[in-house]
């Protein structure tokens, strides 16, 4: 495997996968304060023609117990379940996803440039 046009396909699949990953990360961040929310995790896998995302899974880690007796969801001890989202982990994940996206974009641009150089050889 290794060819100019298949490289374009690999790079664009890579960009798509990273942006889908970023979507799940932003869903997690947006729901960091939602009671009972479990963060979504997704992993990459190689499929024919490029990289793709595997099935989305929920992180089974126990949610944070928040003490707030005035909250309508609070139990007898005054606690309720928050979410299991760790903002630091999510932000690091978002950084990595956007870095991966940029790397794929750079490669895409380089391959496009090489292809265009080849075609310009045909010009006078």
List residues near other proteins by CB under 8 A.
1-4, 6-8, 10-11, 13-14, 17-18, 21, 43-46, 50-51, 96, 99-100, 103-104, 106-108, 110-111, 113-114, 117-118, 121
Nearest to other proteins of 16, 79 (CB atom): 16
Is 104 in contact with 55 (CB distance < 8 Å)?
no
Q: CA–CA separation, 38 vs 71, rounded Å?
A: 20
The CA–CA distances, whole Å, from 1 to 12, 18, 49, 50, 115 equal 16, 22, 10, 11, 17
Our CA angle for 51, 19, 8, nearest 5°, is 50
Would you say 36 or 49 has its CB closer to other proteins?
Answer: 49
| Tokens describing residue 30 | 């947006």
Choice between 74 and 103, CB closer to other proteins: 103
Output 88 or 121, the one with its CB closest to other proteins. 121
What is the smallest separation between the CB atom of 87 and other proteins, expressed in angstroms? 21
Paired strand residues for 80 = 66
The nearest distance, CB 23 to other proteins, in angstroms, is 15
């Amino acid at each position: 495997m290794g060819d100019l046009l298949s490289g374009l396909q690999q790079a664009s699949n890579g960009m798509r996968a990273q942006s889908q990953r970023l979507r799940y990360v932003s869903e997690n961040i947006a729901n960091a304060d939602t009671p009972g929310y479990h963060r979504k995790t997704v992993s990459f896998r190689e499929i024919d023609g490029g990289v793709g995302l595997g099935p989305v899974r929920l992180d089974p880690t126990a949610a944070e117990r928040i003490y707030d007796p005035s909250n309508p969801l609070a139990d007898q001890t005054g606690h309720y379940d928050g979410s299991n989202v760790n903002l630091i982990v999510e932000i690091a994940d978002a950084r990595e996803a956007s870095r991966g996206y940029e790397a794929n974009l750079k490669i895409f641009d380089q391959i496009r440039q090489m292809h265009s150089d080849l075609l310009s050889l045909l010009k006078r």
